[in-house]
Amino acid sequence: MRQLFTALLSGLFFGSGLTISGMVDPTRVLGFLDILGDWDPTLAFVMAGGLSVYLPIYSVWIKPKQRTVFGDSCHIPVNTEIDAKLLAGAALFGFGWGLSGICPGPAITNLSGGQSGMIVFVITMLIGMITAKKFVK
Amino acid sequence: MDTNFLHAFLGGALIGTGAIILMLANGRIAGVSGIVSGAISSVKKSHLWRWGFILGLIFAPWLTTLVGFSLPTSLPTDNLTLAVAGLIVGVGTQIGAGCTSGHGICGIGRLSKRSIVATATFMSVAIVTVSIIRHFV
């Protein structure tokens, strides 16, 4: 129950940040990715803001202790190999992101807006995830 | 313009706060594609936190509306493009083990080489995609 509550709190912060930063607006995201056009560099500051909180706290607490504040162990990826799967997946994701200006976090956050296009995106995204999980090992 | 930069940075800091809460309290990486993909893979009590996070994302815009930040009311692309992009994003994030949040914020925040390479890859491909669509087609 505690884990459910803290995850809900985390999601509320995360979704609020996506909305306030402008990441939820695909028009803004495409403007950020369009470096040859009328480039809008603002969204680079979203990553700067995110890392300015995550990186120091992770380095000071999680990295040395490998424990949560409640003493449980952390689930941290152990794979360090840069393989073809990582590159192919990231490239595919980048292509879809460039086509639409939408990545998974903003897609889910936009669901409460009820726009048909966002619902379509989330449905096909889920189909893509399930399909890839089934066929790509 | 100036306030946009500020909102981007503050929003980013909120994203980072949400992400580090999930690590400090649940010991989990706040990667939206991974959380969603896990949530829909099977109904298990141990997956409950995933739904908490997802609900947080969905409810967050109702909080930000109170302080004047809302979801976009129009999208720059048609529904067919969104359907195709959603599918590609779903497959790509599954194969590449992450998206903008898991690789871009948490991964780089952990100084993971895999995530740094993945982020550079999807950013580059997204920029090339937008450039081709907007300036060369």
Tell me the C-alpha distance between B51 and B53, whole Å: 5
Amino acid at site A13: F
Whether A21 and B8 lie within 8 Å, measured CB to CB: yes
**Which residue among A17, A74, A103 places its CB closest to the CB of B89?**
A103
Contact B60 A9 (CB under 8 A): no
Predicted local confidence at residue A57, as pLDDT: 98
Residue type, B125: V
Whether A90 and B88 have beta carbons less than 8 Å apart is answered as no
Encoding tokens for residue A60? Answer: 């000071």
Query: Cα(A97)–Cα(B100) distance, rounded to whole angstroms?
Result: 10
Low-confidence ranges of chain A (pLDDT < 50): none
Instruction: Mark yes or no for CB contact B12/A47 under 8 Å.
Output: yes
The yes-or-no verdict on residue B137 having pLDDT over 90 is no
Best A12, A28, A59, A85 member to test B by mutation, with max B CBs in 10 Å, is: A12
Smallest CA–CA distance, residue A29 to chain B, in Å, is 10
Q: Is residue B132 classed as helix, strand or coil in its secondary structure? A: helix
Tell me how far apart the alpha carbons of residues A71 and B24 are, in angstroms, rounded to a whole number: 10
Q: What is the pLDDT of residues A65-89, one digit of tens each?
A: 999 999 999 999 999 999 999 999 9
ipTM, interface predicted TM-score of the complex: 0.96
Is A60 part of the contact surface with chain B (CB cutoff 8 Å)? Answer: no
- For A6-20, the pLDDT digits (tens) are 999 999 999 999 999
Tokens of B106: 């948490």
Q: Is the pTM of this model over 0.90?
A: yes
B20, B48, B69 member nearest A54 (Cβ)? B20
| Token output for B46 | 């141990």
Measured CA distances, B4 to A21, B7, B91 (Å): 8, 5, 32
Distance between CA B93 and CA B95 in Å, rounded? Answer: 6
Contact B8, A21 (CB under 8 A): yes
